[in-house]
Amino acid sequence: MLVTVVVLVHVSALSVGTRRSVVRCNHEGASRREVFSAAAAAATTVPSAWGFEDNEMLVAQSVTYLVVPDSSPRLHPSLEPINGGRAIEYLSKGTRGVFLGEHHDASADHAVQAELIRSLSSRRQCCVGLEAVQQRFQPALDLYVDRKISATEMRRRVEWDSRWVWPFERYLPVFEACRATGTKLLALNVDSEDLAKVEVGGYANLERSALNRYVPDGQIFVQFANTTAFREYVRYVIEPSYNAHAQMGILRTTITGQLLDADMPFANFYSGRMLWDSSMANIAADYCRENPTHLFIGLVGADHVKFGCGVPARFALALDVPLPRVKSVLLNPSPFDTSPDIISTSVPPFTLQLRFAEVGAKNTADARQTASPQQSVLPLADLIWLGGVEDA
């Protein structure tokens, strides 16, 4: 069967107009690696600006691309191939945090994460943050890295099977890499009991002490969401996620399984998501303030990474560092990861950036989510990383 995949596109539903940059690749049984290779070859790329020397620590069997956004009138984003060694240097040199957007059930993604942890920790002292583990279970992670309990015991103590549920075995390469390199594991996630309260009754339903723990600066929390860039992110990422949950009939229960009388309202769904992202960003920033020379590596779902406004930009703001010092990586993405229609039965376009403002507009407030006030687009990520053994 011949499949047409649109692999590069700029898209926006803003009233300022839409411009699409498209490269179509016709492949019979095309793999993601082949599609991205064709896209990078066909795209108009900029000359490499990186002066890094190739080094020996190549991540095996990986293909890596820089995402090059374009805020010019052409609005033509592109992919620039970059080899594994230079990509490792790009992620480690001068960077405070790296967020690796995963598919929770994908062995390939976790294999790449493990190799990146080994490579990056050979250059700098690192800390690996886990969306998969809730903050109350930090002692179990410490005991595991210190070789005082087994992986099986750690799994039991963090209540993995009831609180996360994604296959534990697929995360084992990550845990083993951290233990082998002595890399700290940091629990990032909101406790389920607290998130459920927000899903039922919004922030007013959560004790003030708990809210302050997850959102230490309420003013920054509000200001972060009060930009054109963020509102476009919500329209493109959060609202479709809510609609997909509704179509699948899973808005009648909270994260703890509490039954609701009606579908969870969008306001509570949105509030829960913002609490989740803020919690992960702030606990990571706290660690980095206490360890200013360390590199933080966040292992979080792709939805929390793509287009930057989930965890990466919040982390930069909480740590008070320029956004270019925080890197985002999408692991083995497909077009569905970049589309608002996440339950489509047809292959959607592959979106490399979201436009949120007029070309040439001054976007000072939106610089919280962008690399500069002159930028009028949100790039999908800094890097796309294809590697590991693809799932069948």
Please tell me the predicted confidence (pLDDT) of residue 358.
82
Please tell me the predicted confidence (pLDDT) of residue 2.
28
Please tell me the predicted confidence (pLDDT) of residue 360.
67
Please tell me the predicted confidence (pLDDT) of residue 61.
65
**Which amino acid type is present at position 296?**
F
CATH, range 2-47+57-193+238-386: 3.40.50.11550
Please tell me the predicted confidence (pLDDT) of residue 242.
94
Closest by alpha carbon to 68, among 84, 87, 59, 81? Answer: 81
Do 236 and 369 form a contact (C-beta atoms < 8 A)? no
The structural domains of the chain, with segments of one domain joined by +, span: 2-47+57-193+238-386
Q: Mean pLDDT in runs of 10 for the chain (392 residues)?
A: 33 29 35 39 32 35 91 93 93 97 95 96 97 98 98 98 94 97 97 96 96 92 92 95 90 91 95 96 97 98 96 96 96 92 79 87 79 89 85 46
Helix ranges (H only) for the chain are 32-42, 84-92, 107-121, 138-145, 151-157, 160-163, 168-181, 192-201, 208-214, 218-225, 228-233, 239-247, 266-290, 312-319
Q: How many residues does the chain have?
A: 392
Do 383 and 91 form a contact (C-beta atoms < 8 A)? yes
Please tell me the predicted confidence (pLDDT) of residue 345.
73
DSSP string, 152-166: HHHHHHTTHHHHT-S
Please tell me the number of Cα atoms within 13 Å of 29 on its side-chain side. Answer: 1
Question: Which token pair is 53?
Answer: 């020397």
Residues 6 or more apart from 14 whose CB is under 8 A from it? 232, 355, 356, 357
Cα separation of 261 and 264, whole Å?
Answer: 9
For the chain, report the end-to-end CA distance as a whole number of angstroms. 18
Do 113 and 176 form a contact (C-beta atoms < 8 A)? no
The distance of Cα 355 from the centroid of its chain, to the nearest Å, equals 19
> 190's torsion region: left (phi>0), alpha (psi -120 to 50) or beta?
beta
**Which amino acid type is present at position 370?**
T
